[in-house]
């Protein structure tokens, strides 16, 4: 795992250095002259050979120092920006995943139970639209109607003009912890549109995988055994159908956590939501090496951790994995 991360960081480093432009010219700005550019490059250490730059980067990276941001919030430590924005994206991602799972699993189950019915057709179509329609389009439409036109939700940001005490930087959680209910509610209202937007991607996967898995499981002999025992439909559904159907669903939820970060870039940009997706978009346009390096490595680390969680959950549900 450490090896993978090291290799990734090296590739990332070399790739970023090979891009045209770069942080020096970005900082230098419009009225740039070669002397000034050279000066900036020197302070940033960009004149050294790439391998030296990389080793320096590694040395600092292991202590959590990824350098100074040059594009997102020039002058601030990248790590600081990361830590500040991480809770925003986690809040957004978790809520999106909760929406996707809370809607996808029951609907997937019902669609399978009434295969070919109206519900099945409707949800299948909408879940296909969920994949086919680009996220930013969904984002714009939701924002236009629900926020701009109907004023049901705030247009952008994480929190409105409201007194709020910061504890964890998870705004909803902060509101709950400090009993500032209005602040929690306000933060939640800011989250809803971006979260619904973001949820459309994992929803369509969770829905379709659940539907397919339930259809498979309903044909299994052990479901017939459960029916032959005269068990109640509730027990059959929960213990015999869903528990088995959840195995592939857990995997897809894990995989979709990765896709969520990709979706967050567009969603956060459209909703002016100051999270990591927004930071990543800005870091790209601003050629902010240190920020980009940090964000991409963290994304990779997240991926590894999520995979581990999937394996653990899998073993929890499936005894065959546990005792292998």
Residues contributing to the site for another protein (CB under 8 A): 220-222, 224-232, 235, 239-240, 243-244, 317-320, 323
Q: What is the Cα–Cα distance from 125 to 208, expressed in whole angstroms?
A: 10
Least Å from the CB of residue 114 to another protein: 11
Least Å from the CB of residue 253 to another protein: 17
Question: Residue holding tokens 């109607």?
Answer: 145
Residue whose CB is less far from another protein, 17 or 243: 243
Among the residues of 169-275, which ranges form H helices? 171-177, 181-218, 221-228, 233-235, 243-270
Q: What is the DSSP string of 269-294?
A: HHTT--SHHHHHHHHHHTT-HHHHHH
Residue whose CB is less far from another protein, 212 or 315: 315
Dihedrals phi, psi of 77, to nearest 5 degrees: -65, 135
Residue whose CB is less far from another protein, 34 or 319: 319
Burial class (CB in 10 A: 0-12, 13-18, 19+), 275: buried
Residue whose CB is less far from another protein, 128 or 321: 321
Least Å from the CB of residue 198 to another protein: 31
Question: Residue holding tokens 């389009």?
Answer: 137
Residue whose CB is less far from another protein, 91 or 120: 120
CA dist 225 to 230, 240, 246, Å? 9, 10, 19
């Amino acid at each position: 795992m450490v090896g993978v991360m090291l290799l990734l960081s090296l590739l990332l480093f070399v790739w970023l250095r090979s891009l045209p432009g770069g942080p020096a010219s970005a900082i230098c700005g419009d009225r740039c002259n070669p002397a000034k550019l050279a000066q900036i490059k020197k302070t940033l250490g960009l004149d050294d050979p790439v391998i030296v730059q990389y080793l320096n980067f590694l040395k600092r990276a292991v202590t959590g120092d990824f350098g100074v941001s040059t594009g997102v919030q020039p002058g601030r430590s990248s790590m600081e920006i990361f830590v500040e924005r991480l809770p925003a994206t986690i809040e957004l991602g978790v809520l999106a995943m909760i929406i996707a799972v809370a809607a996808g699993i029951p609907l997937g189950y019902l669609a399978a139970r009434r295969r070919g019915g109206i519900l099945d057709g409707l949800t299948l179509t909408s879940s296909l639209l969920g994949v086919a329609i680009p996220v930013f389009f969904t984002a714009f439409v939701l924002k236009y109607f629900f926020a701009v036109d109907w004023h049901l939700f705030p247009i952008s940001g994480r929190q409105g003009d409201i007194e709020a005490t910061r504890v964890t930087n998870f705004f909803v959680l902060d509101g709950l912890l400090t009993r500032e209910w209005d602040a929690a509610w306000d933060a939640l209202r800011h989250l809803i549109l971006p979260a619904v937007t973001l949820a459309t991607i994992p929803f369509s996967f969770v829905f379709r995988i659940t539907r397919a898995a339930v259809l498979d499981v309903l044909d299994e002999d052990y479901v017939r055994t459960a029916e032959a025992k005269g068990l109640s439909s509730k027990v059959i559904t929960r213990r015999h159908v869903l528990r088995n159907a959840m195995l592939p669903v857990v995997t897809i939820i894990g995989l979709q956590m990765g896709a969520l970060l990709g979706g967050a870039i567009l969603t956060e940009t459209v909703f002016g939501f100051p999270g990591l997706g927004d930071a990543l978009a800005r870091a790209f346009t601003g050629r902010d090496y240190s920020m980009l390096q940090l964000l991409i490595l963290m994304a990779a680390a997240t991926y590894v951790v999520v995979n581990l969680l999937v394996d653990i959950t899998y073993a929890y549900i499936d005894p065959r994995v546990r005792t292998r």
